Amino acid sequence: MIVSSNYELSAPSSIILKGSDCIIQRNVPLSGYTTYRVGGKARWYTEPKCWQEVEALFQWVEKQQIPFLAIGAGSNLLVSDNGFEGLVINTRHLKDCSIDEENRIITVGAGYPLPKLAWKAAKKGWLGLEWAVGIPGTIGGAVVMNAGAHQGCMADVVINVTVAYPDGKIETIPASQLDYSYRHSRLQQQPCVVLQATLALKPGTGKDEVMALTSKNFKLRRETQPYDKPSCGSVFRNPKPYAAGWLIEKTGLKGHRIGGAMVSHQHANFILNMGNATARDIFDLIRYVQEKVEATWSIFLQPEVKFLGQF
């Protein structure tokens, strides 16, 4: 156990930051915090409940001189079997949500589930998030990745994003400065933790119509994508004008396995944990798919999934 004036001892496996209720746990398995259900331990792990705790965490990170990573639902993440020698900050408790009914503006915490917000908007008859109903992530991850589906994306609705930087600065960044493009934002290039986002939605033609469109999108995803086995969602970005899944399927890779990892028969841009996969199995299958598709089509598939730790 590390002892310092910056925090107090709580238990052999955890510490409490002085002046807050923020608990930092030691050697926490990350497999339970990702949708792939694989991965080793985080040297340190925490779940802040407010912005002030995030600021306190950054002071601790600075003193310890360790790397950090913010996660939400862990739906776009592959954690190495060797784990992560740093601090994982899970923002799932930052779920405040306020709604400006008159202007159809929603300000929502980084940990708020994206599908839940999509249904909330649909029930109000507001358009702008009906595409997001089947994406198993949080608002924080969605604004960083510019998540999208069904010809919609976060860039279409974001007004601004509030982030915390390691130096303690909190900044609200307007959408015009986020450099949004396909599955990209400037937030992917700078160390920060998303705290909240403000979204502007549009009036629909009525609650029933928007609910029907949202339900249609949800049904389509359930019919065309595998949900019966752990996955990260889409593994690769679509190299327009092609779809990554089409390229992988036409390369003959549906059903290909490495260890406990398999390319889905239902949708080739999904790699599934068949129940006994290691992170290395999944990583090796991702690389194998890249090699085969590039050899066949002269197109290198860029991963959408993020890798954490050493592979």
- Counting other chains too, the contacts that 24-33 makes at CB distance below 8 Å and 24 or more residues apart are 24/57, 24/60, 24/87, 28/88, 30/74, 30/79, 30/83, 30/84, 30/88, 30/308, 31/79, 33/71, 33/74, 33/88, 33/90
How many contiguous H segments (helices) and E segments (strands) does the chain have?
6, 20
Token digits for 177? 């400065």
Q: Which residues contact 210 (CB under 8 A, 6 or more apart)?
A: 121, 122, 125, 126, 127, 130, 204
Question: Which of 47, 55, 130, 304 is the catalytic position?
Answer: 304
In the annotation, is 222 catalytic?
no
CB atoms within 10 A of CB 94: 26
Per annotation, catalytic residue among 31, 75, 231, 234: 234
The strand pairing partners of 164, in sequence order, are: 170, 193
Exposure class string for 256-289: b at 16+ Cβ within 10 A, else e: bebebbbbbeebbbbbbbeeebbbbbbbebbeeb
- Whether 183 is catalytic is yes
Q: Would you say 261 and 277 are in contact if contact means Cβ atoms under 8 Å apart? A: yes
C-beta of residue 302 within 8 angstroms of C-beta of residue 235:
no
Residue 298 three-state SS:
coil
Tell me the C-alpha distance between 64 and 54, whole Å: 15
Q: Give the SS3 label for residue 253.
A: coil
How many CB atoms within 10 Å of residue 115?
18
**Which of 183, 185, 231, 264 is flagged as catalytic?**
183
Phi, psi of 214 (to 5 degrees): -65, -45
Q: Would you please indicate which residues are annotated as catalytic (active-site) residues?
A: 183, 234, 304
